Structure 1
Amino acid sequence: MCGRFVLKATPEEIADYLDLIGLEDFPPRFNIAPTQPILIIVEGERQELGSNLPNRQAMLVRWGFMPGWVKDPKTFPLLINARSETAIGKASFRAAMRHRRILIPASGFYEWKRPAKEDGGKPQAYYIRPKRGGIVAFAGLMETWSSADGSEVDTGAILTTAANTSMSRVHDRMPVVIAPEDFSRWLDCKTQEPREVSSLMRAADEDFFEMIPVSDKVNKVANVGPDLIAPVEGAAPLAPVKEKSGQLSLF
């Protein structure tokens, strides 16, 4: 699951990473939460017939996916994540998987490691970011929901997959990360059917992310400062990762 994330990169950095032509200015965000607006990237029409140049566009959607067939949003659960293993066939996401795949830029995300029942205590929050720094692009889906009065709301969800071994020390799910060389393929909903991009919906490499223990300030949506991603001392160390050979690895 991914329930909070961070986007602290500048508009220029995001535009460069995702090959966008310009991007309006916006402040860094350190505690992006469900129902809030999130920045997404979609593939637009080619600027010239036959052109291979990307024409990606940025827009804001509400984080919380709403299928078009929903009558009353008050009776429908908030879908902030979509399981990549079942999204192709699941009624809520089937159409979006075929027609409205998106990229969601992020600097990192938060996850909580729950203590064993016998140990007691409270969950430890971790800020999970690329070891190399910079930006990642989560795989996502969008849908425009129309109300009875004709108003429309653009909505989105982050696709998740089973955690790799390193991440599983904190949680059993993680966001799907799309590599830059696969951006065009993922966003191409005209020629790339869902089954043809299913291989992209996999866990990141074992050494892609690093997990930094942070304070429980992130638990409150009202807290939005950069101190949320500052490391804290005193957190129990994560167990070493066991490689397939049975040997231990600390990366």
Structure 2
Amino acid sequence: MCGRFAITLPPDAMAQLFAAAPANALPEVPNYNVCPTNDVHVVWNADGQRRLGAMRWGFLPHWYKTVNGGPLLINARGETLADKPAFKAACRARRCLIPASGFYEWTRDSADNRLPWYIHPARGEVLAFAGVWQDWERDDQMLRTCAIVTTAANSSMSRIHHRMPVILAPDDWSLWLGETGKGAAALMVPAPETALDFYRVGTAVNSNRASGPELSEPLGT
């Protein structure tokens, strides 16, 4: 599961890191509270060239008659990605990378209060989530949309949540993007135990209207 994340890397640095040609209009950064239906930064391969552009976070299958025509698909389970009608075509032909500086998950206390955690790379400054994307058109409206692929949590993350995004190492980006043959299914596994660190943050991030760097600061600092 991934329902909120942060991205702080400037677009020119993202373009350089992913060797991608950036679009003219990209979402503003830093954003410490990226929420479903927001536009997010996405890297994909088009005609042999990596692109960095914006997509709506919330995958819209082609049969949705409106943007609210079905469940909001922000995540796609890696275990069933190739079989689910919503995702199976995108799994074959439209895979992407979604950069993030970190993401949030929640536990609950004995009073059922939601307690947020910030999960971030143990080394480096960016994560690359595996994603799939889809163009959706109705009448004169066209949206390019995406979802984050998830897998079972590793043992460290399972203390917080039973699912986690598929996080791809740089050596695997080309395979996921379809640039180096087949075998991408093997990448849909939990990140290594040492790949991530996490800590509690304040409950301000529980609101989708909250913003600012304080959202990702350790609780009590």
TM-score norm. by structure 2 comes to 0.93
Contact kept, 8 Å, 1:127 with 1:229, in 2: the verdict is yes
Alpha-carbon spacing, 1:69–1:190, altered in 2? closer, same or farther (3 Å): farther
SS at match of 2:42: strand
Which runs of 5 or more structure 1 residues have no equivalent in the other structure?
Answer: 47-54, 235-251
Q: In structure 2, what is the Cα distance between the partners aligned to 1:45 and 1:190?
A: 14
Alignment-mate amino acid for residue 120 of structure 1: A
Alignment match of 1:137 (pick from 118, 122, 128): 128
Q: How far 1:121 sits from its partner (Å)?
A: 4.4
Match of 1:88 in 2: 82
Question: CA distance change for structure 1 residues 76 and 22 in 2, over 3 Å: closer, same or farther?
Answer: closer
User: What code does the residue aligned with 1:63 have?
Assistant: W
Percent same amino acid among aligned pairs? 42
Residues 9 and 101, structure 2, Cα contact 8 Å, conserved in 1 = yes
2-structure distance, mates of 1:189, 1:13: 22
2:191 to 196, 200, 204: 204
Structure 2 Cα separation of the partners of residues 36 and 213 of structure 1: 24
Q: Which residue of 2 aligns with 1:18?
A: 18
1:127-162 deviations in Å (ceiling 9; x for gaps): 100011311100001101111x13211111000000
Distance 1:190 1:164, change over 3 A: closer
Contact residue 101 and residue 189 of structure 1 kept, 8 A: no
- Higher Cα Rg: structure 1 or 2? 1
**Structural mapping, 1:152-167, within 5 Å:** 152-167=142-157
Pick from 127, 152, 168 the counterpart of residue 118 of structure 2.
127
C-alpha distance in structure 2 between counterparts of 1:154 and 1:89, whole Å: 22
Match of 2:108 among 111, 114, 117: 114
Pick one of 176, 183, 198 that aligns with 1:186. 176
Distance in 2, Cα, partners of 1:182 & 1:191: 11
Gap runs ≥5 in structure 2: none
Query: Which secondary structure does the structure 2 equivalent of 1:153 belong to?
Result: strand
1:31 partner letter: N
1:173 to 148, 163, 174: 163
Cα deviation, residue 83, structure 1: 0.4
**Could you tell me how far apart the structure 2 residues matched to 1:168 and 1:65 are?**
26
> What is the count of residue pairs matched by the alignment?
219
Q: CA RMSD in A?
A: 1.8
**Alpha-carbon spacing, 1:184–1:190, altered in 2? closer, same or farther (3 Å):** closer
Conservation of the 8 A alpha-carbon contact between 1:101 and 1:187 = yes
| Larger strand share, 1 or 2 | 2
Alpha carbons 2:22, 2:52 under 8 Å: kept: no
Cα deviation, 1:6-40, whole Å, max 9, x if unaligned, reads 00012232122211245657421100000110110
1:166-216, Cα deviation, whole Å (9 max, x unpaired): 000000000001111111111117953xxx211101100011111111001
Where 2:51 maps in the other structure, the secondary structure is: strand
When the two structures are superposed, what TM-score results if normalisation uses the length of structure 1?
Answer: 0.82
One-letter amino acid of the counterpart of residue 40, structure 2 = I
The amino acid that maps onto 1:39 is H
Cross-structure match for 1:31: 33
